[in-house]
Amino acid sequence: MAARELLCLKRGMTLLPAAEEIATLKAQLAQTQAALAASEEARRRLEIIVSALRREKFGPKSEKLSAEQYNLPLEDVEIAQGVLDAAQEKAAAVIDGKSGCGTRPRRRNRGRLPAHLPRVERVIEPESRMCPCGCGEMAKIGEDVSERLDMIPAQFRVLVTRRPKYACRRCSRAVVQAHAPEHVVPGGLPTERLIAQVIVSKFGDHVPFYRQADIYSRQGIALDRATLGNWAGRACFHLRPIAEHLVGHLAAADRLFMDETTAPVLDPGRRRTKKGFFWAIARDDRGHAGAGPPIVLFRYAPGRGGVYAERFLHGFRGRFLQCDGYDGYDRLTRIQRAEGPWTLVHCWSHLRRRFVKQMQNTQSPIAGTAVRQIAALYAVETTVRGASPDKRLAARREHSAPIVAAMKPWLEKQLSMISSASRLAIDIRYALNHWAGLTRFLEDGRLELDTNPVENAIRPVALTRKNALFAGHEVGAENWALLASIVATCKLNDVNPVAYIADTLGAILNGHPQNRIEDLMPWRFRKTSTLNA
């Protein structure tokens, strides 16, 4: 008996033919190699994730909160209080039958304004100085003088308003005086332009109220962040009809953009923040020479579910919704409306971003080729930017359609050649799963290749959120969204938001009729404005 057979009998092992033993060893080796490959793929994925995090975050950062930053959530409380104060004062004026100027002024931050500030005086004369008894012209017997804090770019000034009183020297019965103009803060210090500056500084320039207070203190103006928040809240109350009219314009649009970003909100009961979301709805037809003005509207919601997108778009008559690949929007395609369900148009920019990250993290040649193919689509779009929908559609069908037609089978082939668990495979599957929405721009010249219009509009909200850390409460977040909508829409229409808000507040306070609210829209605002009060 051979030595090998004797050894197997001693060890109680079953003797296998040499071919079967080799096959068993090969199978075990294949299993080991597969496990090793899976482990190596998992390691590479973790390295990519870590590399991406390092690139985006530039390493861990530790930032200590200053004492003033703990007051940030209270700014939204003051805005809400300002809205409530303005509503109560208006209601009291209606009940009493008096103008808002007769209400008792708030005494916060009242005091003598610095003498070094320049004074600009205006005199408001009555319509007539003739005695109603027919005695002739009345004589000046005194005047009411009020000082309110105004602001011009990089300079404060004090706006002095004089309202002379006139009485008849003969009968001593008639006294006339011009009515005091209405203001956002009755009897208070700020002009509407100063309030507009405060609003735009926070919601357009990302400067929280406490930092603005520090800036003002350098000119000897003592204002605390609570006062600034109250002013903004009062303005928010008066500007609400503007935002509501913007909703009506968006509801009539046939194509809209939509996106969302996080909005941390203070949760006082748990002494921490909870995650809310700002949803942005935008219309921008400039890409296809549309006549409608660009608009962006922000809405706050406590979550990101598709139910909120459905709620915000309720009553809208649009057909196309340009959005990213978030599956919450799929809910809109099942809504029964007279206009039919929403048709989703997905974003090539989001897809390109995925492949760019793969290029940065792994130097993948497949990702590089995909990026170049998408760049070819954007090159076509550049040539037809601002053209009519028919010209855009014709150019797309001639130049973009062949690129798209070749790209899908190429992606399917690459997917079959790489590990199904790799990040690149996930990105390719994302493209294939959303292919119908990605290629919808080939069907209508009004559609865009991406959602950049709404992403650009939502970016300032993210910067304000970064500086302000979080909103004080959900009502404060809603007020934040309203004011940010007006400021962002002004920017889209190349309108100075400070001048627009100041003039619009003045028009509303002076009784601008509600049935002519269209005249107060940002795109109807004159492009140049004077600095006169």
DSSP 320-384: EEE--S-GGGGGGGG---TT-S-EEE--HHHHHHHHHHHHHHH--HHHHHHHHHHHHHHHHHHHT
Q: Is 99 helix (H, G, I), strand (E, B) or coil?
A: coil
Distance between CA atoms of 260 and 236, rounded to whole angstroms?
22
Distance between CA atoms of 343 and 321, rounded to whole angstroms?
6
Q: What percent of the chain has pLDDT over 70?
A: 83
225: Cβ contacts below 8 Å, ≥ 6 apart: 68, 71, 74, 75, 78, 208, 209, 210, 212, 213
Q: What is the mean pLDDT of residues 70-92?
A: 74
Q: Is 521 helix (H, G, I), strand (E, B) or coil?
A: coil
Backbone angles phi, psi at 120, to 5 degrees: -120, 110
pLDDT per position as a tens digit, 97-152: 655 444 455 545 555 788 888 888 999 999 898 998 888 899 999 999 888 888 87
The two tokens of residue 338 are: 């007279």
Q: What is the mean pLDDT of residues 24-35?
A: 85
pLDDT per position as a tens digit, 173-186: 788 999 888 888 88
Write down the pLDDT at residue 370. Answer: 94
Beta bridge partners of 176: 166
Distance between CA atoms of 233 and 75, rounded to whole angstroms?
9
- Give the confidence band of 58 by pLDDT, cuts at 50, 70, 90: low
Write down the pLDDT at residue 529. Answer: 42
> What angle separates helix 72-96 from helix 225-251, to the nearest 10 degrees?
70
Do 445 and 388 meet the contact criterion of CB atoms below 8 Å apart? yes
- Give the confidence band of 271 by pLDDT, cuts at 50, 70, 90: low
- Give the confidence band of 267 by pLDDT, cuts at 50, 70, 90: low
pLDDT per position as a tens digit, 328-375: 899 999 988 888 899 999 999 999 999 998 888 888 899 999 999 999
Q: Is the pTM of this model over 0.85?
A: no
Using alpha carbons, list the distances in angstroms from residue 16 to 29, 223, 287.
18, 93, 75
Q: What is the mean pLDDT of residues 210-226?
A: 87
Beta bridge partners of 157: 150
- Give the confidence band of 241 by pLDDT, cuts at 50, 70, 90: very high
Q: What percent of the chain has pLDDT over 90?
A: 42
Write down the pLDDT at residue 59. Answer: 44
Write down the pLDDT at residue 85. Answer: 83
DSSP string, 171-184: T---EEEPPPPP-S
